[in-house]
Amino acid sequence: ILSRVQQFAFRRLTIAEIIRKLQKIVEAEKIKIDENAVRLIAAYAGGSYRDAESMLEQLRVWNDKIIMKEDIEELLGAVDFEKVKAMTDYLNNAGAKEAIDYVGSLTEGGTDLEMFAKALINHLRKIMLVKVDSSLASLMAQELTPEQMEIVKKQADAFSLNDVAQAIRIFTVAQNDIKRSPIPSLPIELAVVEIINNKI
């Protein structure tokens, strides 16, 4: 029976492919949306064009003016790549005070810290995979643009494999603790202090 049935191999799309498809919809339907917002939708969709299209429609209904990156963060809880990149740079190159100040700025800006922790763990996982073997970078093709992939590789150079694995474990605990904490930012702050002190 299988020999007579047409089979389709569905694959996840890359961010670049989703962006191109979304831009066609934006142009055809005259949707007002910032370019950075399109990129964030594509990244958040995780390779699913259907999910990306659905998100765009939700945002279009929710905001009939110009859709901005901040709208996606507020409505969907998506976390911009630049935020996890910045936090990772702080973990590598700054003291605990600077990193905690950055956590404070995220809180003041309305970032969902639980979603941020999840995005940061995912980002650190990418760094870990690159440290294990550079060929594993192919697993991230659907999640990162080529430019973002280069950033991940550069950040991986600053971590030992043991350090990044430990950071993932620490932030995983922190993410689980956020809901129970009397101060939502405290688990992230504790994680930052522990990671930076362990690297000194």
Q: What is the CATH number of the domain that holds 58?
A: 1.10.8.60
User: Measured in whole angstroms, how far is the alpha carbon of residue 130 from the centre of its chain?
Assistant: 16
Co-location of 85 and 71 in the same domain:
no
Q: Answer whether residue 162 is part of any domain.
A: yes
Contact 113, 77 (CB under 8 A): no
100-157, pLDDT tens digit by residue?
A: 999 999 999 888 899 899 899 999 999 999 999 888 877 776 677 788 889 999 999 9
Q: Which domain holds residue 165?
A: 81-199
Co-location of 70 and 89 in the same domain:
no
Distance CA 61, CA 12 (A): 26
Co-location of 42 and 102 in the same domain:
no
Distance CA 113, CA 103 (A): 9
Name the 3-class secondary structure at 111.
Answer: coil
Distance CA 168, CA 10 (A): 31
Predicted TM-score (pTM) of this structure = 0.75
Name the 3-class secondary structure at 67.
Answer: strand
Co-location of 114 and 136 in the same domain:
yes
How many domains does the chain divide into?
Answer: 2
Co-location of 93 and 32 in the same domain:
no
